[in-house]
Structure 1
Amino acid sequence: MNAISRLWDSDLFWSFRTTPTAVVSAVVALICIVGAIGAPGLAPYNPFDLASLDLMDAFNPPFFMEEGSLAHPFGTDDQGRDMLSAIMYGARVSLFVGVSATAFALLLGVLVGLIAGYAGGAVDAVLMRIADIQLTFPSILVALMVDGVARAALPREMHDHLALYVVIFAIGVSDWPRFARTVRGSTLVERNKEYVLAARVIGITPARIMLTHVLPNVLGPLLVLATLNLGLAILSEATLSFLGVGVPPTQPSLGTLIRIGNDFLFSGEWWITIFPGLALVAMVLSVNLLGDWLRDALNPRLR
């Protein structure tokens, strides 16, 4: 209880409690996360159980429109799938891809940044020039290229089984330079401080110095960057899925649902694309606002 009390009274949580934007964003993000993770138990229907679909229920409008029903509060799509359930399951896929891709980019970027910043010299120059070259291309183009190369290299019968992991790899590879440059800059500052020099004198290996001495002191900027990058990763996945090169149709994400609904947008069935789009906006916006608050809260110059 004392630890919880100290945590609640800390500067970080005081900043959180006194920032309405952060509180509202956290609530929205929590609703999105709980709805996504708990979709199998919370969703009214399983929208991907083909045996439960009825084409007679197709294109039912939301409950607040004429002929709408509370049985399908957000309406149904062209196959009779409940849109609320489809959004919850789609958010589950989008969130999984976003978190996994961000974690992969974080690990790769931290490894490259620590090595470049600690080693310096030619190693630093080569690694950072690779990162600079990649940063000249938009992340979505890099992800598209990696996704295309991976699909061409894999057997066709394995595409659907590995599509989710290919997307995670493609997004992660496209985002690692941001983490690498942040860690490298912080490592350049930390490597010449007294505690690092003392560790070298007593014979601690460079790998241990980087992981146990330098890395803990660069976690603040990394946490902020990871939070902001999570929203970008979710958007990247939605973009790839909207273009038809993301997750397979058997595991549709929010981007896939938006792409499907886009075909019916101008025929009057606007809810098929608008509601998944609003869910995507709410998820990404809440994460980004939390990242902005965390950046300000961890900045000692603003205290």
Structure 2
Amino acid sequence: MLARAWDSDLAYSFRHSPVALIAALVALILVLAAVFAPLIAPHDPMDVASLSLMDSFKPPIGMPDADWSNLLGTDNQGRDVLSAIMYGMRISLMVGLLSVLFAIVVGVAAGLLAGYAGGLIDSVLMRIADVQLTFPSLLTALLVDGVITAALPRTMREALQIYVIIFAIGISFWPNFARTVRGSTLVERNKDYVMAARVIGVPSWRIMVSHVLPNVTGPVMVIGTLNLGLAVIAEATLSFLGVGLPPTQPSLGTLIRFGDDFLFSGQWWVSVFPGVTLVLMVLAINLLGDWLRDALNPRLR
């Protein structure tokens, strides 16, 4: 099975694409650094007891008075910037991945139902998607986050904030998947294999799940990869604006917001290094998404 996958057209395209290989390598390094942060991080930025204000604003390696125990320097609380970035990537990637998975589940289900059923169901679902698409996804996420946060009791807001932000970002992306899947479903539902399944009495839900869904997953994979980068940026933007994750769960956006206060006072590394990490992460994801889109396009083979 592995040999067959290695010899597939997709694997061949990946092996012969330098951009995809470099992007995959960068993404793999960042993901591994995030996943294994508790094991490889030089310090534990979440351990408040280990922080000391005497260690605040240590410069990164290459500057005078740098300390090798803090390769990228420290912030205003004495927190190691490199360790904070590793832990921040865990939260940013988790929020981005879960929000995209949520958007895929909602969008694919709505697109399948609208495309296969047609009629009133199709009109209602697509008009809802059209209305939401008139608003920027970030504005939708801000609105949803603000409404849900205001409705929650104060004692529960911080504990549930990460789930709120996942829901807010996910619900702002579902129309992209829904419209794509609906278009593919409209094509697939009139093909011979679907008509044959109807003739022999296969239930509609089974036709959608077992026959139509596997044939519309290609575009979903591409959109999901591209939207993962957008979801990470959306989370970073919300956290930078102060409406995302709480300071006790610092993501890359939160770290950039903390460092922004000291950007022009000489402690540039507190904000620049998390920002560079965010750029590398999103760029690698987007390049992989572009490669996947081209690899799955039969016209470019």
- TM-score, structure 1 as length reference: 0.99
Report the CA distance between 1:106 and its aligned residue: 0.3
Structure 2 partner of 1:206:
204
Counterparts of 2:125 and 2:8 in 1: how far apart (Å)? 38
Among 273, 283, 286, the alignment partner of 1:285 is: 283
Secondary structure, in 3 states, of the residue corresponding to 1:78? coil
Unpaired segments ≥5 residues, structure 2: none
Among 272, 289, 297, the alignment partner of 2:295 is: 297
Secondary structure, in 3 states, of the residue corresponding to 1:90? helix
Structure 1 partner of 2:65:
67
Structure 2 partner of 1:87:
85
Among 59, 74, 77, the alignment partner of 1:76 is: 74
Unpaired segments ≥5 residues, structure 1: none
Report the CA distance between 1:291 and its aligned residue: 0.3
Give matches, 1:1-303, under 5 Å: 3-303=1-301
Counterparts of 2:67 and 2:19 in 1: how far apart (Å)? 34
Counterparts of 1:161 and 1:38 in 2: how far apart (Å)? 24
Counterparts of 1:37 and 1:30 in 2: how far apart (Å)? 10
- TM-score, structure 2 as length reference: 0.99
Report the CA distance between 1:11 and its aligned residue: 1.1
Counterparts of 2:111 and 2:269 in 1: how far apart (Å)? 45
Counterparts of 1:144 and 1:73 in 2: how far apart (Å)? 35
Report the CA distance between 1:121 and its aligned residue: 1.4
Report the CA distance between 1:9 and its aligned residue: 1.7
Report the CA distance between 1:283 and its aligned residue: 0.5
Report the CA distance between 1:48 and its aligned residue: 1.3
Counterparts of 2:139 and 2:174 in 1: how far apart (Å)? 14
Q: Which amino acid is the alignment partner of residue 213 of structure 1?
A: H
Q: Which amino acid is the alignment partner of residue 187 of structure 1?
A: T
What is the total number of aligned residue pairs between the two structures?
301
Q: Percent sequence identity over matched residues? A: 66
Post-superposition Cα deviations, 1:97-151, rounded to whole Å, max 9, x if no partner, equal 0000000000000010000000111211111011000000000000000000101
Report the CA distance between 1:61 and its aligned residue: 0.4
Secondary structure, in 3 states, of the residue corresponding to 1:285? helix
Q: Which amino acid is the alignment partner of residue 132 of structure 1?
A: D
Q: Which amino acid is the alignment partner of residue 164 of structure 1?
A: I
Q: Which amino acid is the alignment partner of residue 23 of structure 1?
A: L
Structure 1 moving runs of 4+ over 2 Å? none
Q: Which amino acid is the alignment partner of residue 62 of structure 1?
A: P
